[in-house]
Amino acid sequence: MSHRDATLFSSDVASLAAPNFLLDGVINFVMAHMTTKLGDESLLLVSPSVASLLANLQDYEPEAVADTAQALMDGANLPAATRLADALRPLLPAPPQGPPISGPTPQLSNGYDCGVYLLAVALAICRWWKKHPRTEEAAPCWFESVMDEVSAESVAAMRLNLAQEINLELIKQGDTTSSSSSWPSSSSRQ
């Protein structure tokens, strides 16, 4: 299944079942859908692989590449976030100035939902962005929205919803080879 330039393979779909790490294919696919749904050219959602590449292009270190996505989420690696921002600025029509803003982010309650947290945080920021003025003074205000919207419970629900939505779309398209019988169903919620 494809949307824009993102394609889901059977291994990506299978990663939607907990306790699997969410594969980059799912993250890319969901971000492509978010970009289309939001319809706001002032938002740029960068896939984890591109973010990692751009943040580490000049100073390639294998362990730095592996840690970039989580470091950008939890603020532990502000230098990587700064490198990513510096790499993206020339590509933007009206680039923001100054360093990236470090702020609080929800913490994982398990060791495998980091990709779903990334999507939930991105969605919370995008929702905030659509509702609020675009000024430098307003920029840090999205912290509260992220902390209010993203929790272990909302992330678990998001994982289930993504699995159900993608499974339904695969059925509509007649592709039963990609669906996984190990997916949680809505009847398995506790």
- Determine the number of helices (DSSP H) and then strands (DSSP E) in the chain: 8, 2
Q: What is the pLDDT of residue 76?
A: 63
Which pLDDT score, from 0 to 100, does residue 149 have? 94
CA gap 38, 13 in Å, rounded = 23
Say whether 150 sits in a helix, a strand or coil: coil
Q: Name the residue ranges covered by the structural domains of the chain.
A: 2-188
- Is pTM, for the whole model, over 0.85? no
Contact 171, 2 (CB under 8 A): no
Which pLDDT value is given to residue 67? 39
Say what the pLDDT of residue 151 is.
95
Domain covering 2-188: architecture: 3-Layer(aba) Sandwich (3.40)
pLDDT at residue number 183: 31
Position 64 scores a pLDDT of 40
- Residue 108's SS3 state is coil
| pLDDT value of residue 81 | 75
Q: Average pLDDT by consecutive 10-residue portion of the chain (190 residues)?
A: 80 91 90 81 75 66 41 60 78 74 83 91 87 64 88 94 88 61 32
- The residues near 52 (Cβ < 8 Å, ≥ 6 apart) are 65, 68, 69
Say what the pLDDT of residue 152 is.
94
